[in-house]
Amino acid sequence: MVIHELTPAECRDALTRTNLGRLGCAHENQPYITPIYFSYDAAEHCVYSFATAGQKIEWMRGNPRVCLELDDIVDQANWTTVLAFGRFEELAAGPGQSAALDRARELFEQRPAWWLPAASKLVSGHEHASPVIYRIRLDHVTGRRTAGKSA
């Protein structure tokens, strides 16, 4: 097996092809990783996502430096992994953010049933709080891939 470094363009292409990744954030030197659905905006080089208020939102508010990891795994010898590093920005209706919110909604609506996680009921039977829409402005991306066994 030969492992290849991805170019930034190849990393961006991988971000365009998928919408499920793992978000990494930290609080008081404690890392936290959780799966998220996201939409990549190539023109702005950022990802948009949303979540209900909870641990990851509180932690990102306190420390906006985050990373996003995604995988495209065919089998043990054929995979692509991308790491995207950036900064969390919470989006709210207000001056200067309406265009970003509109763009986020436009990208979300390209995915069937994009709203389902926010609409699900909690085990307790309570409703979720209003979703928090956010973006991660990407500073840099890196990745690797394999292309099967080497000769």
Residue 127 lies in a domain: yes
Residues 98-141 have pLDDT tens digits of 788 788 888 888 776 555 555 555 566 655 567 888 999 999 99
Between residues 87 and 116, which one has the greater pLDDT?
87
How far is it, in rounded angstroms, from Cα 23 to Cα 151?
A: 36
How far is it, in rounded angstroms, from Cα 8 to Cα 142?
A: 7
The pTM of the full predicted model, rounded to 2 decimals, is 0.82
Structure tokens at 136: 């991660």
Residue 118 lies in a domain: yes
- Contact status, residue 132 vs residue 52, Cβ threshold 8 Å: yes
φ/ψ bin of 125: left (φ > 0), alpha (ψ from -120 to 50), beta (otherwise): left
Structure tokens at 48: 């948009």
The number of domains in the chain is 1
Q: Compute CA distances 16 → 36, 102, 150, whole Å.
A: 15, 19, 28
Residue 69 lies in a domain: yes
Residues 27-85 have pLDDT tens digits of 999 999 999 999 999 999 999 999 888 899 999 999 999 999 999 998 989 999 999 99
Residue 151 lies in a domain: no
Instruction: Identify the CATH number of the domain in which residue 14 sits.
Output: 2.30.110.10
pLDDT on residue 103: 82
Question: In terms of residue numbers, what domain contains 63?
Answer: 3-146
Half-sphere exposure (Cβ direction) of 123: Cα atoms closer than 13 Å: 0
Residue 9 lies in a domain: yes
Listed residue (57, 42, 43, 47) closest to 19, CA to CA: 47
pLDDT on residue 151: 40
Residue 63 lies in a domain: yes
